[in-house]
Amino acid sequence: MPLEGLRVVDAATILAGPLCAQILGDYGADVIKVEHPSRGDSMRGHGHSKDDVPLWWKEIARNKRTVALDLKAPEGAEVFRRLAATADVVIENFRPGTLERWGLGPDVLHELNPGLVLVRLTGFGQTGPYASRPGFGTLAEAMSGFAELTGAADGPPTLPAFGLADSICGIGASSAVMMALWHRERTGRGQVVDMNILQPIMTAVGPAPTVYQQLGIIEERHGNRSTNNAPRNTYRTADGKWVAVSTSAQRIAERVMELVGHPEVIDEPWFQTGYGRVQHVEQLDAYVGDWIAERTREEVLSAFTAAGAAIGPVYNAQDLVEDEHVRETGMLLEVPDEDLGPVLQHDVMWRLTESPGRIRFTGRRLGQDTDEVLSELGYDDQQLDQMRKNEVIR
């Protein structure tokens, strides 16, 4: 795997940092998950459980050895320093100043390990008026403009039902790590990656700040429609199911209108651009919606596919699990787990033909690998027993 030989210390909690570390582990890095001995990562308490086994944890903590260590205790901080000295990457998401207060700041860690890449994930960054505020993905989803643009025009701003901002940040952080490692490859020097949750989702929302600065326009909510092209919406089929149609490409828009029986609009001057079609969205939506409403979902999907038009069914989890393309291409796969038996998980996110990643093992129990990892650092059984007695490790 491409990252074999790379050591990553994951001292982050909740989602963005752990997801970044999961991605690195999926591609071969030796990821050591550091958690508080009694509380563990709060991700262990997120989402559904089966027989008291947290299901999300099994995926977000896969390919990670787990160490239970109290970083606030002087002994624990010393263990962490020794661990960071062996690492290529450390990922943390404490509030700015916390690592410094424990004697684990960048200056200390880089003195021990000049090549270390220290990834600092926070809500708002290490500097600025909001730096000391607690930051979560929900706040970033609200402040980025995402919530303001999401939902019906006459409804409230709408937040996603999942960790959108955190996930975008975690995926982005994995890219930042590789850039920092490439810099180290050329210079021998590590660095600090200052990553906040807000900025990546701001980028994903699009050029609204540029539009406002240049034109004074503030975009408004408009449901599932787009300001960039039309028709684009979700439509209900005759059997009570839903499909999503997109016409981002001009030729696709033409095929859709031919399919639904209104080829006359294709030659209209306004139809020649996505923005022009948006000005006639009510008309186009009615043409497409009425045609779809008279047919079952399978009939609609078959007709659109035959016509080379872009369409997708609106899936729930069961639909996704049963989809033939998802299963046959391995987007989801069953992996063995010591607590649950075979467990279905998302496969690694991207396919590499020469050095593919893989799931080696699922998320482990709190402190399951503490003795193994600390023994690799030179601690003997007597020292481990004493630290366990002092509740520094578990």
Preceding omega of 231 cis (within 30 degrees of 0): yes
C-alpha–C-alpha distance, residues 75 and 57, integer Å: 28
Catalytic position from the list 166, 285, 337, 369 = 166
C-alpha–C-alpha distance, residues 33 and 369, integer Å: 9
Each residue of 74-106: b (16+ CB within 10 Å) or e? Answer: eebbebbbebbebbbbbbbbbebeebeebebeb
C-alpha–C-alpha distance, residues 199 and 73, integer Å: 33
C-alpha–C-alpha distance, residues 137 and 69, integer Å: 26
Contacts of 383 (CB under 8 A, 6+ apart): none
Q: Which residue has the tokens 């402040």?
A: 143
C-alpha–C-alpha distance, residues 325 and 329, integer Å: 6
Structure tokens at 67: 């160490």
Examine the residue annotation and report whether 323 is marked as an active-site residue of this protein: no
Q: Please return the burial class of 342, using the count of CB atoms within 10 Å of its CB with bins 0-12, 13-18 and 19+.
A: exposed
C-alpha–C-alpha distance, residues 22 and 31, integer Å: 8
DSSP reduced 3-state for 10: strand
Q: How far apart are the first and last CA of the chain?
A: 31
C-alpha–C-alpha distance, residues 357 and 258, integer Å: 43
Nearest Cα to Cα of residue 260 among 234, 221, 293: 293
Q: Please return the burial class of 221, using the count of CB atoms within 10 Å of its CB with bins 0-12, 13-18 and 19+.
A: middle
Task: Please list the active-site residues.
Answer: 166
